């Protein structure tokens, strides 16, 4: 059965690769972008399969208008892919107020609001797939990426909670977490905070490396697109899907460090329980809070 996809940020990078792969598979795409002229070649190549919509994902009214337009045009939305976003590097104290706001508005608030706009339609049809394009940076923190990763960590938490919330409705939600892929994320689309003294050995090294153009990611966006199409067709999709060996390596090291830290400080952690407390996992409250059945 033909699926209807709603993909934000369709004009470049991973979003472009996914849009092309979905169209080639025979499905239909509502492709959003700030400049839909960048999608003209796809409209000509796949007449009737693609419906471009001009969308600034940070504009509340445009978001709801775009979702309504999509449903009016194709009749439904089967798959939502919140892909639009951009990166920024700098010391946490160096970012301008506008840079902080734009990161959170684009990389966190926007996917939350677009998801909220699409959910009523998926709830009524009792089916749907939602892919939040996050990052391994939503699981592992690195110097220089504090604002970007604050948004991605938030998106990961939203995804985990939402996945449990909508599962009874036949809706599956996955946080897609790539490492470095050969898009312009670290190139033309990367922005920088003002440079300030004191961060040369942490933030400065990362910023200089990205600005040098020497960073060659290992990930192939076309292969990532194929993986996401397979994900959407899986009867049991994961809540987190990590993409790329680079991301896997980073995540394994981070998990090992977190486990070691947890064990080291475990006596302190356990010492704060009330003397009359029970085993949390065995209590009714614990089972309810953690969704243990």
Three-class SS state of 151: helix
Buried (b) or exposed (e) across 150-163, using 16+ Cβ within 10 A? bbbbbbbebbeebb
Tell me the per-residue pLDDT of 180-229, one tens digit each, with 9 for 90 and over. 766 665 456 667 888 899 998 889 777 777 777 666 667 788 999 999 99
Asked if 156 contacts 139 with a C-beta cutoff of 8 angstroms, the reply is: yes
Tell me the per-residue pLDDT of 70-95, one tens digit each, with 9 for 90 and over. 999 999 999 999 999 988 999 999 99
Residue 58 has pLDDT above 70, yes or no: yes
Q: Which residues participate in catalysis according to the annotation?
A: 134, 148, 152
Delineate the domains of the chain, giving CATH numbers in brackets: 4-243 (3.40.50.720), 246-293 (no CATH)
Asked if 140 contacts 251 with a C-beta cutoff of 8 angstroms, the reply is: yes
Q: What is the CA radius of gyration of the chain?
A: 21
Tell me the per-residue pLDDT of 139-162, one tens digit each, with 9 for 90 and over. 999 989 999 999 999 999 999 999
pTM of the entire predicted model: 0.90
CA separation for the pair 135, 153 (Å, rounded): 9
């Amino acid at each position: 059965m033909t699926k209807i996809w709603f993909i934000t940020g369709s004009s470049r990078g991973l979003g472009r690769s996914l849009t092309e792969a979905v169209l080639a598979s025979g499905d239909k795409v509502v492709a959003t972008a700030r400049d839909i002229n960048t999608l003209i070649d796809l409209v000509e190549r796949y007449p009737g399969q693609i419906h471009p919509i001009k969308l600034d994902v940070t504009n509340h009214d445009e978001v709801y208008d775009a979702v309504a337009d999509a449903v009016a045009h194709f009749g439904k939305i089967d798959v939502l892919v919140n892909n639009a976003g951009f990166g920024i590097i700098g010391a946490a104290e160096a970012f301008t107020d506008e840079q902080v706001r734009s990161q959170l508005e684009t990389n966190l608030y926007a996917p939350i609001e677009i998801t909220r706009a699409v959910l009523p339609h998926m709830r009524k049809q009792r089916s749907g797939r939602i892919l939040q394009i996050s990052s391994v940076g939503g699981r592992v923190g690195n110097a220089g990426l504090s604002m970007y990763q604050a948004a991605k960590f938030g998106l990961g938490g939203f995804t985990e909670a939402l996945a449990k919330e909508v599962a009874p409705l036949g809706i599956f939600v996955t946080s897609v977490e790539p490492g470095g892929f050969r898009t312009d994320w670290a190139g033309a689309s990367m922005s920088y905070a003002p440079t300030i003294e004191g961060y040369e050995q942490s933030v400065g090294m990362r910023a200089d490396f990205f600005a040098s153009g020497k960073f060659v990611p290992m990930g192939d966006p076309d292969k990532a697109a194929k993986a996401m199409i397979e994900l959407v067709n899986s009867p049991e999709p994961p809540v987190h899907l990590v993409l790329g060996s680079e991301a896997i390596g980073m995540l394994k090291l981070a998990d090992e460090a977190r486990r070691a830290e947890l064990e080291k400080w475990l006596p302190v952690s356990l010492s704060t329980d009330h003397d009359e407390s029970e085993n949390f996992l065995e209590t009714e409250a614990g089972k309810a809070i953690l969704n243990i059945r």
